A and B are shown apart, each in its own frame.
Chain A
Amino acid sequence: TQLLEQSPQFLSIQEGENLTVYCNSSSVFSSLQWYRQEPGEGPVLLVTVVTGGEVKKLKRLTFQFGDARKDSSLHITAAQPGDTGLYLCAGGEGRTNAGKSTFGDGTTLTVKP
């Protein structure tokens, strides 16, 4: 069974601060996704990274996939109240496991105005 450890579990910061969320595993993933979920809604895909060492930017969000494809980070610059939500990382196992993904436990982010 593959595991993804996500940290921190909870994060409460002031508007304008920076933050980083980590996703770590001892297993190699074929791809890794980051999702953001608001209460009462389904997770929304933010990004997919597939290449070791890959860095992707989405406005104030920067995503990095580790060189060995075992870990990933999400960095948010100048957080805003609209960034509040549950952030989930998911490791894709490809066709070796019927397309299933392994999900981290999530990071609940609260950005206070």
Chain B
Amino acid sequence: GAVVSQHPSWVICKSGTSVKIECRSLDFQATTMFWYRQFPKQSLMLMATSNEGSKATYEQGVEKDKFLINHASLTLSTLTVTSAHPEDSSFYICSADLRETQYFGPGTRLLVL
């Protein structure tokens, strides 16, 4: 149990375009999901907390207008990277909270050319 999926697993896009990443909890409902960014050989950097039915809470330094988060249902949260630039290239990982334990998706590799 406690399976989380992410789609797509990797994406290449041109600078200036927007990219949407989906995070789904497959076998449980998650009121809270989290979005992280990870650089090579480093730990996870929390970007925002996604709450079902309400606005996301962003960490300091994360631009809410650039990283749009929508948590429209108890099993789906989406992260949209708007007007992506090469510096947005990274590994994005979501997690879903179940009984105060976070279960992670497999990650999405984003490359902005």
Contact = CB atoms under 8 A, between A and B. Distances in A.
Interface of A: 30-31, 33, 35, 40-45, 48, 86, 88, 90, 92, 94-95, 98-101, 103-106, 108
Interface of B: 2, 4, 6, 32, 34, 41-44, 46, 49, 51, 57, 91, 93, 95, 97, 100-107, 109
A101 to B, nearest CB: 6
Contacts of A88: 43-44
Contacts of A103: 43-44, 46
Contacts of B97: 99
A94 B102 contact: no
Contacts, number: 58
A34 B4 CA distance: 17
Contact of A92 (B44, B101, B106): B101
A42 B49 CA distance: 17
B49 A98 contact: yes
A106 B102 CA distance: 16
Contacts of A42: 4, 6, 93, 95, 104-107
B70 to A, nearest CB: 18
A98 B46 CA distance: 13
A94 B32 CA distance: 12
B21 to A, nearest CB: 13
